[in-house]
Structure 1
Amino acid sequence: MPIAEIETASSQPKRAVVLVAKSAFAAAPYRQMQRLADLAAALPGVDHASFGFTEQGTPSLREALVALRQAEFSDVLLLPLMLPIEPSFTAWLTRSLRRWQAEEGGAWPNVRIAQGLADSPLLPALMAELVVGADVAAPVPPLEKLAPEGSLVPAQKRRVLVCQGGPCNAAGADLI
């Protein structure tokens, strides 16, 4: 459900979940993120679920948070969907949240960061289910001929490099 369709509640806190991923380039990852957001939105106590990307893709995490702020959510839980999570990721995320709040000004919802997936006590059961289900997965066919070694990028006179990191995307690099 788009944020615009959510009515503002009078006195009850409005809770949102934002699924956080690093990047997405094509339609399939966006569909997958939307499917996961729909699953999260159906959880008890969740009024809205969306997703945002920290490096490449739209909406950026900042855009997702600003939209929830404008929709007057009182509580936002960030749920990183990354394995493994570098220890510095949570520190970066905390610093970024503080900077965004300072730049945007005004009141912000209570923003919390959920534990990483690797820390969940449910992860071993999920991994066991995936391993058991691997029997029905299609095998990878062997290569008939080995590709020549070396670069797959053809020789060139000039090359344009576009930064796709989080700060660069925040400055508009994803539009390029």
Structure 2
Amino acid sequence: MAVRLSKIALVAAIGLLALVIVVNNLTDYNTNFQYVYHVLSMDTIFADSTLTWRAIRAPALQHAAYALIIATEATIATLCLVGAGRLLQTLQASGQRFNQAKAMATYGLTLAFLFWFVGFMVLGGEWYAMWQSPDWNGQQPAFRFIGCVGLVLIYLSQSDPDVPTD
């Protein structure tokens, strides 16, 4: 029972993290938009970089990218929180039923892993050369999210046996 409760709590914690990020991005839109603006504009990377042809400087596209980021984070929050709820509903169920209830949480955690890895490490970090920026490099925070999400995803994916009835 303790293992199941810990899996539920950890999935819910990732959902809560994503929800707080969404709230922060919506309630402090401009401050958080500055990050997206500078990464996509590539205006703070090395001055002699030949990669700046990739920059997106159109404000409408930058705001659209930020909206996509917020929507993805909201989807992660929803999938993880609903997934944790579904797992909680099967807390006392057979191992097979509990394992089947993991799908929604697995989708949420997988999306979170892909979002922070592809979005922030691959696209932001490498495509937009975020690693060159002294002020707008979000690779370290993204790596922390990837690590936490990855560990929870691995832990959740471990098969759960039946709960003893004694």
Specify if TM > 0.5.
Answer: no
Q: Give the alignment's TM-score, normalised by structure 1.
A: 0.22
| Higher-RCO chain (CA-CA 8 Å, sequence separation at least 6) | 2
Q: Give the alignment's TM-score, normalised by structure 2.
A: 0.23
Structure richer in strand, relative to its length: 1
Looking at CA atoms only, which structure, 1 or 2, has the larger radius of gyration? 1
Structure richer in helix, relative to its length: 2
